[in-house]
Amino acid sequence: MLVRELRPRPLAWPEYRARSGAIALPFRALEWVLEWAAYFLSRWALLEVLEYLSILSVLIGVIFYFSEAGDRTKQKHYQAWQVINTAQGKGGSGGRIEALQELNVDGVPLVGVNVAGAFLQGIRLLRANLLRADLEAADLRDSVLDGSDLEYANLRSANFRQARLRGVNFMGADLADADFVNADLAGADLRGASMSNADLRNVNLAGIRWQQIRNIEKANIHGVRNAPAGFVEWALAHKAVSVAGEE
């Protein structure tokens, strides 16, 4: 709250000058003039009104800022989608990593997003809704997609090396020719997924749901870690292979 302080009336010049030494007189004269100016201004109501108006303008600005927050968020999301859609079919990131992460953090579903062939190394999309997304041949090395929904997604030839995919829903997804070397698939749901020719070397398979995998022919399961009981035997019986090298 503003408190208006009325300044005391300054001394008259002869009395003020008598208290000042000859050397400091020019500076004291300037100070005396300023004291009188402050005295008159302290009694000018217009200045108090202007001060109230400046505070009111700040308050109005704050109100408008919060009232327009929804529009700013929509504009931000529109720009993010524009980045993603404009870069479709192109290599490189093209700003898509930041755009996808921003949308996901704001809880925007990424259903059906098309980032085929994109460079998305190191992207973090926790619990993202990527239902039916197209990530064919995308570079997702070192990515973190824990808890994401990739049901019925196209992940053919995608590179998931060293990726963290704990608890990801791959139900019905196309994982043919995908590279999962050293990835963490703990708790992933692979029911109905097609994993033909996938590279699963040294993958962590702890707690995966695998009994209804649709196709695992020629998938390389060499060195898989923490595989559920019966998985390796079942995979080899369904034409998976165990080869140490790239051949």
21 and 124 both lie in a single domain: no
End position of a domain, from candidates 67, 95, 111: 67
136 and 58 both lie in a single domain: no
In the 3-class helix/strand/coil scheme, how is 74-95 assigned residue by residue? HHHHHHHHHHHHHCCCCCCCCC
End position of a domain, from candidates 67, 91, 112: 67
Could you tell me the pTM of the whole model?
0.72
99 and 45 both lie in a single domain: no
The answer to whether residue 170 is domain-embedded is yes
94 and 157 both lie in a single domain: yes
pLDDT in tens, the chain (247 residues): 455 566 677 767 666 666 666 566 666 677 777 777 776 666 666 666 667 777 777 777 777 666 666 667 889 899 999 999 988 877 777 799 999 999 999 999 999 999 999 999 999 999 999 999 999 999 999 999 999 999 999 999 999 999 999 999 999 999 999 999 999 999 999 999 999 999 999 999 999 999 999 999 999 999 999 999 999 999 999 999 999 976 5
235 and 184 both lie in a single domain: yes
135 and 213 both lie in a single domain: yes
The answer to whether residue 20 is domain-embedded is yes
* Residues 89 and 115: beta-carbon distance below 8 Å: no
In eight-state DSSP terms, residue 18 is: H
The answer to whether residue 2 is domain-embedded is no
Q: C-alpha distances in angstroms, 51 versus 4, 55, 60?
A: 11, 6, 14
Total count of domains within the chain: 2
Q: Which residues pair with 241 in a beta bridge?
A: 220
Q: C-alpha distances in angstroms, 110 versus 71, 76, 81, 115, 133?
A: 20, 15, 10, 11, 7
34 and 117 both lie in a single domain: no
149 and 202 both lie in a single domain: yes
The answer to whether residue 240 is domain-embedded is yes
Please choose, from the candidates 166, 165, 168, 158, the residue with its C-alpha nearest in 3D space to the C-alpha of residue 195. Answer: 158
146 and 33 both lie in a single domain: no
Note down the domain range covering 31: 13-67
- Give dist(CA 210, CA 175) in Å, integer: 13
62 and 78 both lie in a single domain: no
Q: What is the pLDDT of residue 61?
A: 74
The answer to whether residue 3 is domain-embedded is no
Ramachandran assignment for 24, one of left (phi > 0), alpha (psi -120 to 50 degrees), beta (any other): alpha
Cα 179–Cα 185–Cα 189 angle in degrees, nearest 5:
105
110 and 189 both lie in a single domain: yes
The answer to whether residue 4 is domain-embedded is no
Q: What is the pLDDT of residue 40?
A: 67
The answer to whether residue 236 is domain-embedded is yes
58 and 112 both lie in a single domain: no
- Give dist(CA 198, CA 222) in Å, integer: 11
Give the CATH number, domain containing residue 209.
Answer: 2.160.20.80
Tokens of 92: 């490189």
